[in-house]
Amino acid sequence: MLKKIARLIKNAIYKLKFSGKKVAIDWSCNLAAKGVYCEGMNTFHENVSYRGSIGYGSFIGKDSDLNANIGRYCSIGVNVKTSTGTHPTKVFVSTHPAFYSTRKQAGFSYVTEDIFSEGIYVDDQKHVATIGNDVWIANNALLLPGVHIHDGAIVAAGAVVTKDVEPYTIVGGVPAKEIGKRFDDRIIEQLLRIQWWNWPEEVIQKKAYCFNDIKRFLEDNNKVSSR
């Protein structure tokens, strides 16, 4: 009961903090007491646990548990998770933490000092993954520590991402492998140069009519650039 009350208080504080940014936080969410920043127009659906910075327009689907920095206009599906630790797979005789960690994850330890780094982080704030802009991560995906999902990428449902995903690349499977690319290299290069997600929101809204056609979008942008 006390944990539930503490969670409700945290959510109330965050709702107040981001009240001017149109951030929707379901009361069942468990946001970190510190280290959560919302740029605006964000939605945290039911039972989301989150720690990190989330960019404009991005949302996180229900039951997701993420410790990651997320860019703008990202779509995070249901039950998407980041893995928070690792175990030794070589040299050490056993993968059990009793042989290298003093944290007593199993209730006991055989060592008096930590001799293996269990955490893999992408920054000094100990976030375990980085998600770029305009990324779609489908339901039940798992991101292993240290990965970077670059701009425009897609992670298929149920994928286990063990390494970085290049821009506008589609990956899937266990472990996740490249399935294809959203566009050809020429178009990807143009999109990475344009970085539409950094445009002011009013400009994006004005140009939303051409977002359903990549050819028309690039032609429109080229016309503006040539003026």
Which residue out of 45, 87, 96, 148 is catalytically annotated? 87
The type of residue at 51 is R
Does residue 87 have an active-site annotation? yes
CB atoms within 10 A of CB 61: 20
Distances (CA, A) of 206 to 57, 73, 201, 203: 16, 16, 9, 5
Q: Are 37 and 21 in contact (CB under 8 A)?
A: no
The type of residue at 64 is S
Angle formed by the axes of helices 214-226 and 185-194, nearest 10°: 50
DSSP state, 115?
-
Catalytic annotation, residues:
87
